[in-house]
Structure 1
Amino acid sequence: MLCSICGTRPPAGSDGRCAPCARTAGPARTRASSTPAFIAPQQWLRSPEGLAKAVVVLLLVVIGADLLAVAADLNLRSLIDDGLDFGPYGGFLAIDQAEADRADLFYAGAGVLQLLTTIATAVGFIMWFWRVRANAEIFDSSAQPMRPGWAIGGWFVPVAGLWLPRRIAGGIWTASAQTNTDGTWRQVSHAPINQWWGAWVATLLFGRIASQRYDQAEQPQEIMDAASMMMVSDLLDIAAAILAIRFVRELTRMQGERAALGLFPLTARF
């Protein structure tokens, strides 16, 4: 049997309520009447744990695709370097055409895999981000700097998308950090957010520059240099994915702890 108010902890008394709910909810109420009339039922808390696990798996797949891309970059560099060993142009005549075709196919295939995994991860991440933003609105709406819809729309605004999601994430983090049992605020470092977002922005900007450099490269040395830049971009993406995993897991854990306290006027369904 669980608390008749929050449904997350065993009851502490004969009225069927747990200790935190008994302190904050006032007179005993049944589960059917525990939600105030002015609160819409769809505003109940929803656990982000399932989505968080899916996002972590997708981010791991992204890391795998990035590692494959790094291998493709190294393979392309090695092939071009072998040609340059025999002179700026003549050495390439000695390179086996089948080997060159395999290198091109490997590079292109790695790029397609990166694109597909990035799209899938972006969809999953935004779904999780929307979920934790909805919970944060219940935890503390006053800590949210923007309306809930921006948790999705903020990612697609040109230029402003480089900081709007970070601003929204800060509000979610603040609302989810109030985990002291007496209802007071607990100070939690924003380092996971800052590190993840800094790496993500660096990946976007450097990746755009590296991609343009590769598209414009014509001479062998230019192609090799551009491949080196793409390799750095892939490594930055790996770092951003690792930091994103940390951010997702930390925020999901914090929201679970916050929901367990029941210090908000809604019935939790975690």
Structure 2
Amino acid sequence: MLCAQCRQSAVTPGGTLCQNCAGARAQPVQSSQPVQPVQPVQPVQFVQPGAYGGTPLDAPHGPAWLRSPVGLGKAAAVAVAVASATDLLGIWSAWLTYDIADRLAGDGIGAVPMTEIDRADMILTVAGVVQTAAFVVAIALFLAWFQRARVNAEVFDPFGHRMKRAWTCWSWFVPVVNLWFPRRIMADVWEASAPVGRASHALVNGWWTCWILALIADRVGSTTYRRAETPEEIRDAVGQAMFADAAHLGAGVLAVLVILRLTRMQDEKARGGALAVAV
């Protein structure tokens, strides 16, 4: 019986191939390419969604990454609370001046000793310096916290912000737009940070209403006081300043609540991994 492959030689006993064909089939085929060693599969590293830090998200407003707002939030809340407490000092010092101006308006010059007038004027000046210093520190820490909260909110919702990131701080200092841009930015940050279905803006609206009222009252009171000459005019101007301080106090209290609430919402959302963004 001939070999089934070459059809020339006889097959080996019990087989279908000749001895030559059977030997050639038994040899391994030599490849011209060297065999590449199999690379072990590396395990995929899992990063918990919402964890602080990590790779920045390429958001529409620039790279954004989560950073804890807790430390800055506490510092800003304390600074705003201290600034609000100085408003109480301002109200008290203004009341002293108001009382003196009222007595002078009713009883005439000489009804109040000069020492009492000088003392009230000194207290009013010192209170103004203390209020200004506390306000500068408070606004610096508040803006640092607000900037961080805005970037965190971009991670939670990259497309839910109507204003550019640069407006987060600059909107407070640009005339006219500072009457509504900061509130709009805060509302967007609040919306992105709040749990689903619980983004009520009542607290934000109350805070912003008091803040605008305080700004207007402060501007009117300052202008009126600079122009005041008679005891009656001084009394009325100081009364307006007292109202402005009271409005600042209310805005400060609500600002502390906004800071604490928003900080807690962002911290809980980041640690819980409830990111509303597809990466």
TM-score range, shorter chain: 0.7 to 0.9
Q: Which residue of 1 aligns with 2:87?
A: 66
Give the alignment partner of residue 228 of structure 1, picking from 239, 255, 264: 239
Give the alignment partner of residue 146 of structure 2, picking from 119, 129, 135: 129
Query: In the TM superposition, what is the alpha-carbon distance from 1:129 to its structure 2 partner?
Result: 0.3
Q: Deviations over 1:222-270 (max 9, x none)?
A: 111111111111101100001101111111111112112214499xxxx
Change (3 A) 1:142 1:265: closer
Structure 2 distance, partners of 1:141, 1:38, is 9
1:83 corresponds to which letter in structure 2?
L
Give the alignment partner of residue 161 of structure 2, picking from 128, 144, 149: 144
Q: Which residue of 2 aligns with 1:115?
A: 132
Structure 2 distance, partners of 1:215, 1:48, is 41
Query: In the TM superposition, what is the alpha-carbon distance from 1:158 to its structure 2 partner?
Result: 1.2
> Could you say what secondary structure the match of 1:155 adopts?
coil
Structure 2 distance, partners of 1:37, 1:121, is 29
Structure 2 distance, partners of 1:77, 1:38, is 56
RMSD of aligned alpha carbons: 2.4
Query: In the TM superposition, what is the alpha-carbon distance from 1:82 to its structure 2 partner?
Result: 2.5
Structure 1 distance, partners of 2:94, 2:56, is 60
TM-score after normalising by structure 1: 0.78
Query: In the TM superposition, what is the alpha-carbon distance from 1:83 to its structure 2 partner?
Result: 2.5
Structure 1 distance, partners of 2:210, 2:101, is 30
Counting matched residue pairs gives 228
* Contact 1:143 1:171 survives alignment (8 Å): yes
Give the alignment partner of residue 77 of structure 2, picking from 40, 50, 56: 56
Change (3 A) 1:38 1:220: closer
Q: Which residue of 1 aligns with 2:9?
A: none
* Contact 2:55 2:65 survives alignment (8 Å): no
* Contact 2:70 2:263 survives alignment (8 Å): yes
* Contact 2:93 2:124 survives alignment (8 Å): yes
Structure 1 distance, partners of 2:219, 2:164, is 30
Structure 1 distance, partners of 2:57, 2:207, is 38
Alignment of 1:37-56 (within 5 A): 43-56=64-77
Give the alignment partner of residue 202 of structure 1, picking from 176, 199, 213: 213
Greater RCO, CA 8 A, separation 6+: 1
Q: Deviations over 1:7-58 (max 9, x none)?
A: xxxxxxxxxxxxxxxxxxxx952459x9569759x74311111111111111
Say whether residues 1:168 and 2:185 are aligned partners: yes
- Bigger radius of gyration among the two: 2
**Whose helix fraction is larger, Structure 1's or Structure 2's?**
1
Change (3 A) 1:94 1:166: closer
Change (3 A) 1:36 1:207: closer
Higher mean C-alpha displacement, 125-134 vs 256-265: 256-265
Change (3 A) 1:151 1:36: closer
Q: Which residue of 1 aligns with 2:201?
A: 190
